[in-house]
């Protein structure tokens, strides 16, 4: 009997109290490569023009990796910035999650980042969820922090990075896609905070749309069961991104709207607190196309001044990096107690949303 009490005290059962401890962002970092590609630069590459790109996408410039710069370099710059901003030494980091789609090799980018920044005690893994990779990675880190606390009583510090080098998989002869894409990285540090933080997360996927936004791979033969996979000449096509823009556009708007509503509903289910759209102070949607952002804001009833749109104008579509790059852009204007929602959508179609209080 005595032993049983002792065991119970050393291994307390998770309680709602312990699970509901606040977890939030405590540091932000971002990076875009110095090389800028303007719309007029693109006029010299494909049959396009500044007027079309601005009217149909809102994009003015994007930043592109130069020869010798890597996706790991971008991730490391953003990660170091976020840790410095949080006042956290890399050696204190327990968990590294990297949302990325363009690393396309192993070991994972997260393990290479762990080595580069010097975080020897951290677990590290990549998350592949299209442009929603950052939202998925934050959700995973958030859940781990809660479980580590509830199950083991440990405070966990997580570094979450969203990074992509889309220029590596851009077909520079395809005017429908090459004008949209840019490279960049954003990062956050997550840990327990006294109040606010993440209120709810929601992620979802719909694999039926796998063939409207996809990339080739040097291993495409293997994925297709090609018998040539094991021969030396089976190099396959370059890993270009392909997209049926119109189909993606329609589902993107629909899904981002429903994901925002769903994450608010999940919070109500968990806490009973009713949050209305009018209570949202700011929305960080994945920066795919200014027209998508305008339509999402309009459908939700969130005025455009409360929607982050600067990223798509200045960086183009940077995939998993676009939401944390937005935090980084806005870091000087952040107030406390603001209600914010992140929402992302991308290949798969994988999507998700996060409801937070700053």
Q: Rounded distance, CA 335 to CA 272, Å?
A: 25
Q: Could you tell me the two tokens for 33?
A: 């490569």
User: Other C-beta atoms within 10 Å of 329: how many?
Assistant: 18
Q: Which residues form the catalytic set?
A: 131, 286, 317
Q: Minimum Å distance from CB 84 to ligand UT7?
A: 29
Q: Minimum Å distance from CB 311 to ligand UT7?
A: 12
Closer to ligand UT7 by Cβ: residue 57 or 203? 57
Q: Minimum Å distance from CB 130 to ligand UT7?
A: 7
Closer to ligand UT7 by Cβ: residue 50 or 148? 50
- Indicate the pairing of strand 183-192 with strand 158-165: antiparallel
Q: Rounded distance, CA 270 to CA 264, Å?
A: 10
Q: Find out whether 71 and 102 touch, Cβ atoms under 8 Å.
A: yes
Closer to ligand UT7 by Cβ: residue 144 or 168? 168
Q: Minimum Å distance from CB 175 to ligand UT7?
A: 4
Closer to ligand UT7 by Cβ: residue 56 or 151? 56
Q: Find out whether 161 and 75 touch, Cβ atoms under 8 Å.
A: yes
Show Cβ contacts of residue 143 under 8 Å, excluding neighbours closer than 6 positions: none
Q: Minimum Å distance from CB 284 to ligand UT7?
A: 14
Q: Minimum Å distance from CB 176 to ligand UT7?
A: 4
Give me the residues that bind ligand UT7 (CB under 6 A), please.
Answer: 48, 52, 56-57, 131, 175-176, 179, 245-246, 248-249, 252, 288-289, 292, 317, 346
Closer to ligand UT7 by Cβ: residue 156 or 318? 318
* DSSP codes, 283-336: EEE--S-HHHHHHHHHHHT--GGGB--HHHHHH-B-GGGHHHHHHHHTGGG--S
Closer to ligand UT7 by Cβ: residue 175 or 192? 175
Question: Quick one: which H or E segment has residue 249?
Answer: helix 245-271
Q: Rounded distance, CA 181 to CA 59, Å?
A: 9
Q: Rounded distance, CA 321 to CA 329, Å?
A: 12
Rg (CA), the chain: 21
Phi, psi of 146 (to 5 degrees): -65, -45
Among all residues, whose Cβ is closest to ligand UT7?
245
């Amino acid at each position: 009997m005595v032993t049983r009490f002792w065991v119970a005290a050393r291994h307390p059962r998770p309680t709602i109290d312990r699970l509901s401890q606040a977890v939030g962002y405590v540091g932000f970092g971002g990076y875009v490569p110095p090389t800028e590609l303007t719309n007029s630069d693109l006029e010299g590459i494909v049959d396009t023009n500044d007027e079309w790109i601005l009217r149909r996408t809102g994009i003015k410039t994007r930043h592109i990796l130069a020869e010798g710069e890597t996706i790991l370099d971008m991730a490391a710059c953003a990660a170091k910035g976020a840790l410095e901003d949080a006042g956290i030494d890399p050696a204190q980091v327990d968990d590294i999650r990297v949302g990325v789609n363009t690393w396309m090799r192993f070991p994972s980018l997260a393990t290479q980042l762990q080595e580069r920044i010097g975080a020897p005690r951290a677990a590290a893994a990549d998350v592949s969820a299209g442009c929603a990779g950052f939202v998925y990675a934050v959700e995973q880190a958030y859940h781990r922090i809660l479980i580590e606390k509830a199950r083991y009583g440990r405070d966990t510090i997580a570094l979450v990075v969203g990074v992509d080098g889309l220029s590596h998989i851009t077909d520079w002869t395809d005017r429908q896609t090459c004008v949209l894409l840019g490279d960049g990285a954003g990062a956050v540090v997550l840990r327990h905070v006294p109040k606010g933080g993440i209120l709810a997360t929601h992620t979802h996927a719909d694999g039926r749309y796998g063939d409207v936004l996809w990339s080739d791979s040097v291993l495409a033969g293997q994925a297709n069961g090609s018998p040539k996979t094991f021969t030396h000449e089976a190099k396959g096509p370059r890993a270009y991104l392909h997209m049926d823009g119109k189909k993606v556009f329609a589902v993107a708007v629909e899904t981002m709207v429903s994901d925002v509503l769903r994450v608010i509903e999940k919070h109500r289910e968990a806490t009973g607190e009713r949050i209305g759209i009018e209570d949202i102070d700011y929305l960080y949607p994945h920066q795919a196309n200014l027209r998508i952002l305008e339509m999402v804001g309009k459908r939700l009833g969130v005025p455009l001044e409360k929607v982050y749109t600067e990223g798509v104008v200045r960086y183009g579509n940077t995939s998993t990096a676009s939401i944390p790059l937005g935090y980084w852009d806005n870091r000087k204007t952040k107030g406390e107690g603001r209600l914010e929602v992140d929402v992302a959508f991308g290949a798969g179609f994988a999507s998700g949303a996060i409801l937070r209080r700053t």
